[in-house]
Amino acid sequence: MIKKIITIMIVSILPLLAQEGFLEGVRAEDLMLDRIEAVPVETAKEIENSGFDYWFEPVLSVAYSPNTTLIAEERTEKPGGRIIGVWIVDSATNTEKRIIEGIAYDLKWSADGKFLAFRKMVPKKELFHGRRVYGDGGLWLYNVETDEMQPVPLGSYFEWSPQGNYLAGKHLDSTGLWALAIYNAEREETKVLDRVLFFEPWNFCWSPDGEMLTYVVATKTSGHIECSPIESEVFIINRDGTGKTQITYTMQPEILVKWLPDGKSIMVERFKEMPDPVTGGSDTEIVILKLKKRRRK
């Protein structure tokens, strides 16, 4: 396992949150790297002490819709019951409805509350020491308005766009390589944006306005550890797959990215130095990529 000793150094993130309007009318091809800043130790400690993990979101078994009227719950029908499933509870009418029977997790609502995404577990035919074994049944969407279910061809980690009913996630393409893809829930269409070669779950992130994504592309990986990049860079791309723009040109391979709410800052975890080509290991650090708009000629 890659040892991650996070060294954190520069500016407080809080002032960044006050800036608005940077992304208005901006597309991926309009952006470029202005500078790289380190994150102050104080800020890192504040984040850790607050219990907020800046990379990982919890795997939810309870999720509130954006208007908080509907609640999705993965539970048994009653305390101590044996029937497990996902229920939609309407707090306004005090009614509930089971939408699936079986184990499900990672419940996430779309921004408008029309769709509920979740991962489903399905029982396998074989038993293990007499007990039922469950496997991954894939990603599914429930449409609140039509009461219909639809499968989604994305991998285990997915994120809704902040606006619009789009899911971003990993997709195994026809060549057997991982790709970053967008699923349009309204049209039930999948669009592959770019191959990424390796795929850590958190190596992509939506822009705050939902029009772009930032992500990591590995140009070379360890031959011994498939998911460990030893050469990689940060890119930005428009939601429609156009405007692919390389943001970093650094010696240190980037691993994870998170687009901050101000729109002009991307938090990145990267290796401090080139990782060992055999073990893929190296200490990591957190930096902020400050973006600026390109000058139009």
Among 104, 135, 152, the domain-final residue is 152
Residue 242 and residue 186 share a domain: yes
Structure tokens given for 232: 């990689």
Query: Residue 258: how many CB atoms within 10 A of its CB?
Result: 17
Residue 101 and residue 50 share a domain: no
Count of CA atoms in the C-beta half-sphere (13 A) of 72: 27
pLDDT of 17 reads: 41
For residue range 223-256, list pLDDT tens digits in order.
655 556 667 899 999 999 999 999 999 888 888 8
Residue 259 and residue 165 share a domain: yes
Query: Residue 223: how many CB atoms within 10 A of its CB?
Result: 11
For residue range 98-141, list pLDDT tens digits in order.
998 888 888 999 999 999 999 887 766 666 666 666 666 789 99
Residue type, 176: G
Residue 294 and residue 164 share a domain: yes
pLDDT of 19 reads: 42
Structure tokens given for 6: 């996070």
Residue 119 and residue 89 share a domain: yes
Residue 207 and residue 86 share a domain: no
pLDDT of 166 reads: 97
Q: Cβ distance 153 to 190 under 8 Å? A: yes
Domain coverage including residue 274:
1-56+154-297
Contacts of 161 (CB under 8 A, 6+ apart): 111, 167, 168, 206, 210, 239
Among 122, 152, 182, the domain-final residue is 152
The answer to which of 89-93, 143-147, 217-221, 291-295 has the lowest mean pLDDT is 217-221
Q: Cβ distance 160 to 111 under 8 Å? A: yes
Residue 113 and residue 167 share a domain: no
Among 113, 128, 152, the domain-final residue is 152
Rounded CA-CA distance 263/53 in Å is 20
Residue 48 and residue 66 share a domain: no
Enumerate helices (H) and strands (E) in the chain, giving the number of each.
Answer: 1, 21
H or E element, residue 41: helix 41-49
Residue 163 and residue 135 share a domain: no
Residue 68 and residue 52 share a domain: no
Averaged pLDDT for residues 215-220: 83
Picking from 217, 222, 224, the residue whose alpha carbon sits closest to that of residue 246 is: 217
For residue range 50-77, list pLDDT tens digits in order.
544 545 555 568 899 987 789 998 887 6
Rounded CA-CA distance 251/3 in Å is 19
Residue 137 and residue 174 share a domain: no
Q: Cβ distance 262 to 209 under 8 Å? A: no
Grouping H, G, I as helix, E, B as strand and the rest as coil, residue 190 is strand
pLDDT of 77 reads: 66
For residue range 147-198, list pLDDT tens digits in order.
999 999 887 789 999 999 999 998 877 777 778 999 999 999 999 999 876 6
Residue 70 and residue 8 share a domain: no
Q: How many domains does the chain have?
A: 2
Averaged pLDDT for residues 282-288: 80
The answer to which of 8-17, 200-209, 276-285 has the lowest mean pLDDT is 8-17
Picking from 2, 109, 19, 13, the residue whose alpha carbon sits closest to that of residue 52 is: 13
